[in-house]
Amino acid sequence: MALIELDEVSKVFGFGEATTLALDEVALSVEKGEFLAVMGPSGSGKTTLMNIIGLLDRPTHGDYNLGNESASRLKPIQQAKLRRDKIGFVFQFYNLLPGLNVLDNVSLPLAYRGMTPVRRAKRASDMLELVGMRDREYFMPSQLSGGQAQRAAIARALINKPSIIIADEPTGNLDSHDSKVVMELFSEIHRQGNTILLVTHNPELTRYASRVIYMYDGMIVGDEKTPIGQMARHARRIYFKKQRVTDSDIAAGVSAMLKDIPGKEITSKTKRKKATGRKRRLIKRSKK
Ligand code: ADP
Ligand code: MG
């Protein structure tokens, strides 16, 4: 069985007239050691998907298995333990605690393990060395550049030695140099055999990935294996189209991204996804 297995996972937010179907019967399996990039326009469900995979949120419907355990059936406390041991998160805005210095931010997750302060500091210091931030240990988050803050956040994500790293637009707030530094770190973590899930709007970054999924309207509308070092095929189309966006496109509020999630594929997949009851069972059977 795959490391991550989602079967018809749906997520509904809100009640009554204000409901949003953030995920619409998503099926996804991710093998150990994959570097999966997730692309799609904003609002397409990328963060919701990452939060469910990362056990920060629960599906409304469907099953989620993580390393052969039925994660959706675990109690919150068991989920929290699984999350602590298996998953490291990196977010767009670093989420460092402003009142703690870098070393204390990085060692914080260890405090919940009952480790002595000296051992915690030693381990945090080693992690900071790994991300090239040893000399910033006693800086406060406000004294760091974006790239440095993100490297500290990565050190914190790695401190429990998780085998899965979930990074939700980690370079969204960084310039191209800092993005590269951060991506090289993820790449190194990947080479060590870990599984990486990266949400990104930047087609260039699909070069680091071994697979790219494209989301639209809460569904996965494209799934592409791609050699590391090469930009994914669909992503490349988005990238080159993006160069040709005219001022009138921008004025019309049409983002290149939205336009380019390939329309044909969406309709065909959408139709398949929307099949219900008997037809869906038939589709399933025919796939086996
Ligand atoms: P993305 O990360 O691709 O931008 P999200 O997963 O954040 O998309 O959101 C998917 C959809 O679900 C959006 O329509 C968003 O408004 C909605 N949504 C996400 N989180 C919540 C929430 N906590 N409450 C209500 N709606 C939400
Ligand atoms: Mg998001």
- The string of pLDDT tens digits covering residues 96-107 is 999 999 999 999
- The string of pLDDT tens digits covering residues 184-207 is 999 999 999 999 999 999 999 999
Q: In what order do the strands lie in the sheet with 211-216?
A: 87-91, 164-168, 195-199, 35-39, 211-216, 219-225
Q: Which range (124-128, 182-186, 201-205, 282-286) has the least confidence? A: 282-286
Residue closest via CA to ligand 1's atom 7 equals 47
Residue 41 beta carbon below 6 angstroms from any ligand 1 atom: no
Q: What is the mean predicted confidence (pLDDT) over 153-161?
A: 94
In a domain, 143, yes or no: yes
In a domain, 207, yes or no: yes
Sequence-distant (6+) residues with CB within 8 A of 108 are: 97, 100, 156
**Token pair 């805005």: residue:** 93
Check residue 276 and give its pLDDT.
52
Number of compact structural domains in the chain: 1
User: 161, 168, 162: which is closest to 182 by C-alpha?
Assistant: 168
Measure Cα distances from 234 to 77, 111, 152, 198, 240 in Å. Answer: 40, 43, 32, 16, 10
Q: Is the pLDDT of residue 25 over 90?
A: yes
- The string of pLDDT tens digits covering residues 62-92 is 999 999 889 978 999 999 999 999 999 999 9
> Distance, CA 100 to ligand 2 centroid (Å)?
26
Measure Cα distances from 35 to 32, 41, 91, 97, 191 in Å. Answer: 9, 20, 17, 28, 10
Q: Is the pLDDT of residue 260 over 50?
A: no
Q: Is the pLDDT of residue 181 over 70?
A: yes
Taking residue 244's Cβ as centre, other Cβ atoms within 10 Å add up to: 8
Type and span of the H or E element at 219: strand 219-225
Residue 44 beta carbon below 6 angstroms from any ligand 1 atom: yes
In a domain, 10, yes or no: no
Domain that residue 205 falls in: 32-60+69-287
In a domain, 6, yes or no: no
Determine the atom of ligand 1 nearest the C-alpha atom of 218: 10
Taking residue 266's Cβ as centre, other Cβ atoms within 10 Å add up to: 16
Check residue 249 and give its pLDDT.
54
What CATH number should be reported for the domain holding residue 155? 3.40.50.300
pTM: 0.83
Distance between CA 117 and CA 157 in Å, rounded? 18
In a domain, 116, yes or no: yes
